[in-house]
Structure 1
Amino acid sequence: MQAQSPRVAMVAGETSSDLLAGLLIDGLQGRWPGLRGYGVGGPQMQRRGFDAWWPSERLAVHGYSLEVLRRLAGLLRMRAQLRERLSSEDRPDVFIGIDAPDFNLGLETALRAAGVPTVHFVCPSVWAWRPERIETIRRAADHVLCLFPFEPALLERAGIAATYVGHPLASVIPLQPDRAAARRALGLDEAAEVLAVLPGSRSKEIDYITKPFFEAVVLIQQARPAIKIIVPAVPALKARIEAIAAELGLAGRIQILTGQSHTALAACDCTLIASGTATLEAALFKRPMVIGYHMHPWSWRLMRRKQLQPWVGLPNILCESFVVPELIQDRASPEALAAATIDWLEAKTRAPERLTALAQRFTALHETLLRDTPRLAAHAIETLLQRP
């Protein structure tokens, strides 16, 4: 181990992994100010001095297998090049794979066999689907950093060393979000009824999800003409989202933001949101939500065969209950999405106790996930590097 300045290789795919990796780099640089990081990363990592050989979006794929096939050759070529560089001239003191298990676990297995210590950050959801993957994790990772408190015991029963580090989003998002400040930042009246629509951060999610979400928005606006609709968009996908809005006659009737998803979630009364990490963010903002998702039918059939739990959305999985509605695949019709969203909006006057109970449930979840993630993760990595 190079105690004063270890070399850390990392691979992070898509926006949420880039955020996690950026916070992890904060912890590592707090321990080792001279840390050198390189590999595959996004803007959050690069702002912290990370040398991105490839950008994170190269790994942002949608679906279980069908959409990946078209890009498989390029991904395999990139992984082979990484394996070669990290096994020779750019050999790191430790490799950290941030999520992206289909890509990272294979790379970790090869690097571990070559003597490079490996860490996987974000336990693959073996408790939700694809339980056979636990054997792959055992071969790939010297240590797993877990976001959820029940995961280390599950992994340790399989002989995999693991540490619960909490979820970094729980530290980023305040326990009591400031709705009024968020509305001022977006130019929204404090008394307005506001719906945030988050159709996803991946290209294929925009293709499959945005149109039914916006068709639901049309129905919601018909029922509640005064409602304000805000749509945070990943900058690279904003033009496509705007085009879909224009196609459905929503140009000028909704506010499409560049990024600012956290501001939108803090400002809204309710959110219509694609399944994924953003649903956990919405829960940490204590917002009622309707979770929707749609993908290619073949991908959906493959995922359903390996699903272990009745829930898809992270808030429901972590609460072990349908605390918020999920409308997935064929159930995610514009009519059903609109009806479920209006039901939450009407609860403010018809059933305020329902909103209070949900906020209390999400506050308890927030407190469970709130840990000093960068410090705990850095300590676990330091312990691994000190191992003889």
Structure 2
Amino acid sequence: MSTTPRVAMVAGETSGDLLAGLLLDGLQAQWPGLVGQGIGGPQMARRGFEPWWASERLAVHGYSWEVLRRLREILGIRKQLRARLLADKPDVFIGVDAPDFNLGLEADLRAAGIKTVHFVCPSIWAWRAKRVEKIRRAADHVLCIFPFEPELLARHGIAATYVGHPLANVIPLVPDRAAARAQLGLAPGDEALAILPGSRSAEIQYIAPPFFKAAALIKQARPAIKMIVPAVPALHDRIVQVARECGVEQALTVVPGQSHTVLAACDCTLIASGTATLEAALFKRPMVIGYHMHPISWRLMRRKQLQPWVGLPNILCGDFVVPELIQDAATPQALCGAVLQWLRAGTERPEALEALERRFTALHHELQRDTSRLAADAIQKILAV
């Protein structure tokens, strides 16, 4: 395509916004002046993206009443967006993650002759394998962030390209821990725990309380420890409120954003399952993965789970390289105990930390590709057909 294409995009939640922003870098290098439109967040807006709705409007958690409570609003947004795109067709629609929202929309747009790309293969290898049929109907092409995914999709007749994981290029292979610690005001000898209870309001509701109660126990065991919570700005006040309710408001330092700085600086992280766990792995940090959701949501999810692991670092390594404490196992006592084991390893078992760092470094190399360029090249070929 010689002229700059018209691109529509939808990214849901914080992680999707980050991935979409990096994709826009590649598209704009290919087509200077390209401006996307649709649903996005601040990372996309920084690249000139025109958001018709904010990506946070799509952020939901779980499967039961939590989603149903927001369903009318979300379906209304999708209906309006579909009508707008069908009335004024873009050259390509790119759905970034958010498969529950994007795949149905992509199928309708593709049926109307619009090229469709799905960025981030839904985790059919981990759960909900039947979703592969929906992907086949929805996407002309899938941009995969994990190396084993294109072959899996090819078995089902779905065209795909491995583009690497964008975060593997954003996060340095050897992070500057000293600079990150100085930026946070940590002294050279300070022991620091990063606490990341999630980036969605429902995650703060279900995950922050056991995390913060575990933090209180950790503080009792190691009074000098510094505990830092990088908060999504929109959830800052809610996080502070939960910390107050758990009696740890004074023990925690809540900072706006800066999750990468906090992960680079910490000695260990207590972290909610999700993309952030991969970020922690790329920063080569020992971690304890925890997660908790509404009981009905948990029963539905567990029924569809295909692998023994939940956390991305464990899934990608094919082993329990870091502990996972999920649902009923995510008690404050258990979370505290797992964190203290990592903290003690620094003096008692340094070889365990060294082995983990080697494992995560190998993973970093495997995921490191020129993602922006590879994704833009794949989209250019789709448009040329």
Superposition pairs of residues 248-267 of structure 1, within 5 angstroms: 248-267=246-265
Counterpart of 1:50? 49
Q: Does the 8 A contact of 1:6 with 1:36 survive in 2? A: no
Counterpart of 1:270? 268
Q: Displacement of 1:64 after TM fit?
A: 2.6
Q: Which amino acid aligns with 1:198?
A: L
Q: Displacement of 1:190 after TM fit?
A: 1.4
Equivalent-residue separation in structure 1 for 2:325 and 2:247 (angstroms): 24
What is the DSSP-based 3-state SS (H/G/I as helix, E as strand, rest coil) of the residue aligned with 1:189? Answer: coil
Equivalent-residue separation in structure 2 for 1:200 and 1:87 (angstroms): 35
Equivalent-residue separation in structure 2 for 1:204 and 1:34 (angstroms): 38
Counterpart of 1:36? 35
Q: Which amino acid aligns with 1:96?
A: I
Is the aligned partner of 1:78 residue 2:77?
A: yes
Equivalent-residue separation in structure 2 for 1:66 and 1:125 (angstroms): 23
Counterpart of 1:320? 318
Equivalent-residue separation in structure 2 for 1:111 and 1:303 (angstroms): 29
What is the DSSP-based 3-state SS (H/G/I as helix, E as strand, rest coil) of the residue aligned with 2:281? Answer: helix
Q: Displacement of 1:76 after TM fit?
A: 1.0
Q: Does the 8 A contact of 1:4 with 1:34 survive in 2? A: no
Equivalent-residue separation in structure 1 for 2:383 and 2:249 (angstroms): 54
Identity over aligned residues, as a percent? 73
Q: Displacement of 1:65 after TM fit?
A: 3.6
Superposition pairs of residues 1-388 of structure 1, within 5 angstroms: 1=1, 3-89=2-88, 91-387=89-385
Q: Deviations over 1:245-283 (max 9, x none)?
A: 122222222111100000000000000000000000000
Q: Which amino acid aligns with 1:15?
A: T
Q: Displacement of 1:67 after TM fit?
A: 1.1
Q: Displacement of 1:363 after TM fit?
A: 0.1
Q: Which amino acid aligns with 1:372?
A: D
Equivalent-residue separation in structure 1 for 2:223 and 2:352 (angstroms): 24
Q: Displacement of 1:148 after TM fit?
A: 0.2
What is the DSSP-based 3-state SS (H/G/I as helix, E as strand, rest coil) of the residue aligned with 2:207? Answer: helix
Equivalent-residue separation in structure 2 for 1:237 and 1:189 (angstroms): 28
Q: Does the 8 A contact of 1:145 with 1:162 survive in 2? A: yes
Deviating more after overlay: 36-45 vs 246-255? 246-255
Equivalent-residue separation in structure 1 for 2:77 and 2:239 (angstroms): 29
What is the DSSP-based 3-state SS (H/G/I as helix, E as strand, rest coil) of the residue aligned with 1:323? Answer: coil
Equivalent-residue separation in structure 2 for 1:273 and 1:34 (angstroms): 38
Equivalent-residue separation in structure 1 for 2:69 and 2:240 (angstroms): 26
Q: Displacement of 1:66 after TM fit?
A: 3.0
Give the unaligned 5+ runs of structure 2.
none
Q: Displacement of 1:47 after TM fit?
A: 1.0
TM-score normalised by the chain length of structure 1: 0.98
Structure 1 stretches of 4+ with a deviation exceeding 2 A read none
Equivalent-residue separation in structure 1 for 2:188 and 2:370 (angstroms): 33
Q: Which amino acid aligns with 1:338?
A: C
Equivalent-residue separation in structure 1 for 2:59 and 2:321 (angstroms): 29
Q: Does the 8 A contact of 1:286 with 1:363 survive in 2? A: yes
What is the DSSP-based 3-state SS (H/G/I as helix, E as strand, rest coil) of the residue aligned with 1:290? Answer: strand
Q: Deviations over 1:211-261 (max 9, x none)?
A: 110000000010111111011000010101111112222222211110000
Q: Which amino acid aligns with 1:142?
A: D
Q: Deviations over 1:340-359 (max 9, x none)?
A: 00000000111100000000
Q: Displacement of 1:34 after TM fit?
A: 2.4
Equivalent-residue separation in structure 2 for 1:247 and 1:15 (angstroms): 26
- Aligned Cα RMSD in Å? 0.7
Equivalent-residue separation in structure 1 for 2:348 and 2:246 (angstroms): 31
